[in-house]
Amino acid sequence: MALLRLAFALIVAAIFAPAASAHSLKDVETTLGDKEQFFQPIDKEAPSFTLRDADGNTVRVADLRGKVVVLHFIYARCPDVCPLHADRIAEIQAMVNKTPMKEQVQFISVTTDPVNDTAEVLRDYGPAHGLDKVNWTFLTTTPEQPEDTTRKLAAAFGHKFTKTEDGYQMHSVVTHVIDREGRWRANFHGRKFEPVNLVLFVNALVNDVQTPHGHRERSLWEKVKAWF
């Protein structure tokens, strides 16, 4: 499976040359709606946030305009799904970073446990899960913000991180995609979605082109099939 995904990533890199993708976002949404059961299209303004990275740099939603953002919520002490979610994000990032999209996509992890996820923890988490800091960052609250700020932000994105008596958090697993204009465009639920499908959707947002009327190109799926 890993070799198949690597081969697919190389194919995607060839297909996703800047001038090669002439597939409308609507077409991709329709295709994913048929093929990817864990895909949820959305079109609304992304919840606003002002957070900081491990080095104390402030990051705002406005700072990310012009890039497609792949964002998810985790916390470092999570004993089960969070590390697996981070591994999946790293897999997606590796596929994206083999293409010209590397400079146009930002990956963001947001901790819902800012008290325990110190700057040192934030710095170490990415390398431990294969995340490349070239276009990935782990965000936490600013010193002035309440401890539950990022859990409330997760709720604004539609899912809860509920603290339990043993100090852990009950939560769902969702990967959010935000377009270059700061609009929340999709959720990919759980960890069973195909990573390449998220990459295809990101590519559509990066290019955001329309197919000219009266002209039918081979679909992306037809192009991929031709490689086998």
Over residues 108-120, the mean pLDDT reads: 96
Question: What's the confidence (pLDDT) of residue 41?
Answer: 95
Which CATH architecture describes the domain 2-209+218-226?
3-Layer(aba) Sandwich (3.40)
Percent of the residues in the chain that have a pLDDT greater than 90, as a whole number: 68
Is residue 45 exposed (0-12), middle (13-18) or buried (19+ Cβ within 10 Å)? exposed
Residue 127 above 70 pLDDT?
yes
Over residues 132-159, the mean pLDDT reads: 96
Tokens of 67: 């890039």
Average pLDDT, the chain: 85
With tokens 């170490």, the residue in question is: 124
Residue 179 above 80 pLDDT?
yes
Sorted by where each begins, the domain ranges of the chain are 2-209+218-226
Residues 200-211 pLDDT 10s:
999 999 987 444
Question: What's the confidence (pLDDT) of residue 205?
Answer: 95
Question: How far is 141 from 139, CA to CA, in rounded Å?
Answer: 7
151 — pLDDT class (breaks 50, 70, 90):
very high
Over residues 87-102, the mean pLDDT reads: 96
Question: What's the confidence (pLDDT) of residue 27?
Answer: 87
Residues 48-77 pLDDT 10s:
999 999 999 999 988 999 999 999 999 999
Question: How far is 70 from 175, CA to CA, in rounded Å?
Answer: 7
> What is the reported pTM?
0.82
